[in-house]
Amino acid sequence: MGWTHMFQLQQPPLNQMADVVGVVEPFLVSSQGQHLPGAKQLQEYMRKHPSIALVASPDDLPPVQPSKTRVGVISVRAADSKQCFEDAILKAGCRAIYLEKPGGNSVAELDEMIALADQERVTVQVGYSRNCGTYVQRAEAYMARTSADQHAITLIHSNPLSDADMEECFVRCQPGMFYDMACHD
């Protein structure tokens, strides 16, 4: 998913609104991972894009220009989400974060991440799967119970199916929803 997000940011019109300045990839730059096929592909890509720093830690990212806002895109295994989220805010200085689903391993982890974002005044957007309608309904119910100045939840999707047509979505996902979701983790 990280590759997809990086590619999207480098295409019009997003490339006019944001600069991709770094990729934090500790495993594929490590001695253990640097010889894997994915690492070689990443290294080749980075050679073609020398303005993008490939680093092992957020500490090694280039500084942010004073007129810019550092935005982090976190697309990692759920087990690594919390640490990456904390590093993005506390080490890299991100003021906004796009957090790929599921965002964390537990509700307790997510609560800690929310508290840190609130404390540091960081804007967070979380990717979601529209197929998990229960979570969407719970988010909408939460919005209905709370005032607009407490939290803003915006649900954006590119799935052209209406709720009534969701059966078609499940038919198209022949391996099953477990496979579809697990392949991201």
Average model confidence (pLDDT) across the chain:
80
What pLDDT, on a 0 to 100 scale, did the predictor assign at position 111? 93
Task: Using a cut of 0.75, tell me whether the model's pTM lies above it.
Answer: no
What pLDDT, on a 0 to 100 scale, did the predictor assign at position 136? 66
Beta-strand runs (E) in the chain: 22-24, 53-55, 71-74, 96-99, 123-126
Residues with Cβ within 8 Å of residue 139, at least 6 apart in sequence: 153, 155
Give me the amino acid identity at 34: Q
Q: Measure the CA angle with vertex 105, ends 135 and 136; round to 5°.
A: 10
- The sign of the dihedral angle between the CA atoms of 180, 24, 14, 103 is positive
Cis check for the bond before 12: say yes or no (omega within 30 of 0).
no
Contact 46, 76 (CB under 8 A): no
What pLDDT, on a 0 to 100 scale, did the predictor assign at position 1? 65
What pLDDT, on a 0 to 100 scale, did the predictor assign at position 185? 39
Tokens of 150: 């407490």
Residues with Cβ within 8 Å of residue 181, at least 6 apart in sequence: 129
What pLDDT, on a 0 to 100 scale, did the predictor assign at position 124? 94
In this prediction, the residues of the chain whose per-residue pLDDT falls under 50 are 179, 183-185
What pLDDT, on a 0 to 100 scale, did the predictor assign at position 156? 57
